[in-house]
Amino acid sequence: NVTSGILGIEIYFPQTVVSLQELEKFDGVSQGKYTIGLGQENMSFCGDREDVISIAMTVLDSLVAKYGISYSDIGRLEVGTETIIDKSKSVKTALMQLFESCGNTEVEGLDTTNACYGGTQAFFNTLNWLESPYWNGKYGVVVMADIAVYAPGPARPTGGCGAVALLLGKGSQVKLVPEVPLRATHMENTYDFFKPNLSSEYPTVDGAKTISCYLRALDTCYGRFTRRAEELLKQEKFSLQDIDYIVFHAPFHKMVQKSFARLLFNDFRRDPDNKLFENVQAFRNISMEASYSDKDLEKAFMSLSKSLYEKKCAPGTFLARNIGNSYTASLYGNLACLISEKGNELLNKRIVLFSYGSGLASSMFSLKVVGSVEDIAKKLYLRERLSSRIWMNPEDFTKTLQLREERYGKLNYSPLHSIDSLLPGTFYLEQVDSLGCRKYNRK
Ligand code: ACO
């Protein structure tokens, strides 16, 4: 019996945020394109004082402080990120400066990178360590951190920024455990979103392709997941009805709604005579291939899934709608959001997670809530933190991204932005020297 799992979660997002309604006006696009078309409300971003190392340090240090543990209690620390600022040195090694004062240098784990999926592999690796003979009795921590920025154009409003730290351990204090061996993975070689230009922070994106790759990966994982669940639970038809809550990697909110509807379409294909599907029989013989581009089908299943969506999925979407895509941190931020919104209503419930990273890697897995999560929810105080951010206008947002562009990969500089907007306790970049060594400070 596996007893390893999640004991705590912390999240960090920058204080600076831009409204997508205002950005629509500024960019001169039709009203509703970002807010209704993509379903996003606001987008977090950071200036040149913060980078992937500083946001990872901030979230890790905050987790350690809030959960009252010491850096000497951590035996493994893994990082999932796709925000690359050094082609050799891992973000994990930079985080080791936080362990210096307590003299703990025996901390396994490094970075895992593949678009938005790296955090999931880091999470699986750390669970494996906890279950292995190499486990030394200490905590495992996984940090997912990313700054999602796009070149000007239709992808830019799907950016964002955030970091999550998961505290993992073993024994009676564990709150969420993986439902073992219920897990499904799908990986293949695609060029939907990638970063071949090493002198730019921006990805190369084929937007339409990312969406079809995401949905194909979702279908494949769900097919494998449901078959495995039926075997494991000795149940005839496993469907959305058997899932209490579901959280998705959230590139933008509309994608999450479409993904949920897509799962219902999969249920329909597996059980077309179910009464629930009375009104969508017109799609009974559609091929899987044709189903991806059929707008009537999409509309029909979005409408049919609406009430289930509100119950099972919507509670975990509040954060991502307000900070945007945080790549590796997105899925785990959404889990934190669900916990923050629902608290102990989640007790004994099954939460299914879908992780997707372009290129592509994807997994679907399940967590069972086995202990009170009220304490986690209280420590997150998510809504308060989101509403106390600093609203920047689209012009300043655009200038900030220009500054990041100019600074990317440069040596020998001190950041221009002031630290006034940072909350006390936030780590920030002090200087990059002529060799590229980075020095940080804490507000
Ligand atoms: N009011 C309401 N809806 C509107 C409006 C408007 N004024 N204008 C457009 N829309 C709708 C469209 O009808 C469309 O709806 P649909 O999806 O239901 O068909 C939606 O907004 C998107 O508009 P499009 O013109 O189809 O696409 P756009 O050119 O805006 O690009 C995209 C969207 C592809 C998501 C782009 O932002 C992108 O490339 N983002 C980055 C890639 C990404 O996030 N991929 C997801 C998975 S991979 C990952 O996580 C990075």
Ligand 1 probe mutation, 41, 146, 216, 252, most atoms within 8 A of CB: 252
Residue 417 falls in the annotated catalytic set: no
Q: How many domains does the chain have?
A: 1
Name the pTM for this structure.
0.98
Question: Nearest residue CA, atom 9 of ligand 1?
Answer: 33
Q: Which pLDDT does position 2 carry in this prediction?
A: 64
Q: Is the pLDDT score of 3 beyond 90?
A: no
By the 8 A CB rule, do 392 and 17 touch? yes
ipTM of the predicted structure?
Answer: 0.98
- Say how many Å lie between the CA of residue 151 and the centre of ligand 1: 15
- Say how many Å lie between the CA of residue 33 and the centre of ligand 1: 8
Q: Is the CB of 154 under 6 A from ligand 1?
A: yes
Q: Which residues, at least 6 apart from 81, have a Cβ–Cβ distance to it below 8 Å?
A: 52, 56, 91, 111, 113, 118, 119, 144, 145, 146, 327, 328
pLDDT, tens digit, 9 for 90 and up, residues 49-85: 999 999 999 999 999 999 999 999 999 999 999 999 9
Q: What percent of the chain has pLDDT over 70?
A: 100
| Structural domain harbouring 141 | 4-442
By the 8 A CB rule, do 94 and 53 touch? yes
DSSP 88-146: SS-HHHHHGGGGGGGT----B--EE-BTBTHHHHHHHHHHHHHHSTT--SSEEEEEEEE
Q: Which of 10, 24, 41, 82 is catalytic?
A: 82
pLDDT, tens digit, 9 for 90 and up, residues 8-53: 999 999 999 999 999 999 999 999 999 999 999 999 999 999 999 9
Rounded to whole angstroms, how far apart are CA atoms 182 and 425?
A: 39
The CATH number covering residue 38 comes to 3.40.47.10
Q: Which of 249, 253, 298, 313 is catalytic?
A: 249
Ligand 1 probe mutation, 114, 158, 301, most atoms within 8 A of CB: 158
Q: Is the CB of 251 under 6 A from ligand 1?
A: yes
By the 8 A CB rule, do 245 and 351 touch? yes
Residue 253 falls in the annotated catalytic set: no
- Say how many Å lie between the CA of residue 145 and the centre of ligand 1: 24
Question: Nearest residue CA, atom 34 of ligand 1?
Answer: 207
Q: Which of 116, 213, 221, 337 is catalytic?
A: 116
Band of residue 409 on the pLDDT scale cut at 50, 70, 90: very high
